[in-house]
Chain A
Amino acid sequence: AQSVAQPEDQVNVAEGNPLTVKCTYSVSGNPYLFWYVQYPNRGLQFLLKYITGDNLVKGSYGFEAEFNKSQTSFHLKKPSALVSDSALYFCAVRDRGYSTLTFGKGTMLLVSP
């Protein structure tokens, strides 16, 4: 089985400050890991993914994520938050032996001016 946990329903950060959105996963094998963002009344948009190799992955809009195998985590980070980053963020995992993608429950990021 595969599962994803996003322990925070909401993260609040001031504009210009660094942000972190947490994600932990559980798989039986090696994971593929993804982050998606959802803006109001929109579908999900792909941000970044970890397949293999370098544990630090860079993606769209200045976001990055660090794969930590020992802690089974894949936290999303950005050095300086923008108000326009306010959105719902989803972490997703796919075990290499599975055909499906499992999503976390989502974390609402609110960036205040």
Chain B
Amino acid sequence: EAQVTQNPRYLITVTGKKLTVTCSQNMNHEYMSWYRQDPGLGLRQIYYSMNVEVTDKGDVPEGYKVSRKEKRNFPLILESPSPNQTSLYFCASSLGRPGTEAFFGQGTRLTVV
């Protein structure tokens, strides 16, 4: 089954404790991205990657890091989480060609206390 898998689904952590949210896709997609969803703000893109070792900032990259060492994986790293990073995070992948739709993971609900 074609899917984007995120882990964990739920995470509560403390301010400053480094964490990683993993994302993996099994569709051989070139393009992967991370979004955060906040009430009243919709989805905002954090980072995206057009292929292995190629990443770029989205609209809200501050406080986040990503890496793309393999085509299937695109982890999101929070080096020093802060409460304003409490949000619902989604990973997505697509073929990358303009006009192709994105496939989304189930989401990771992160709470930073």
Contact = CB atoms under 8 A, between A and B. Distances in A.
Interface residues of B, number: 25
The residue among B33, B44, B101, B103 with the most chain A CB atoms within 10 A of its own CB is B101
B104 to A, nearest CB: 4
Contact of A43 (B40, B41, B104): B104
Contact of A42 (B40, B41, B45, B106): B106
Given A43-B90, A43-B106, A96 B42 contact: no
Interface in A33-82: 34, 36, 41-46, 49, 51
Interface of B: 4, 33, 35, 40-45, 48, 50, 56, 58-59, 90, 92, 98-99, 101-107
Interface of A: 6, 32, 34, 36, 41-46, 49, 51, 90, 94, 96, 99-106
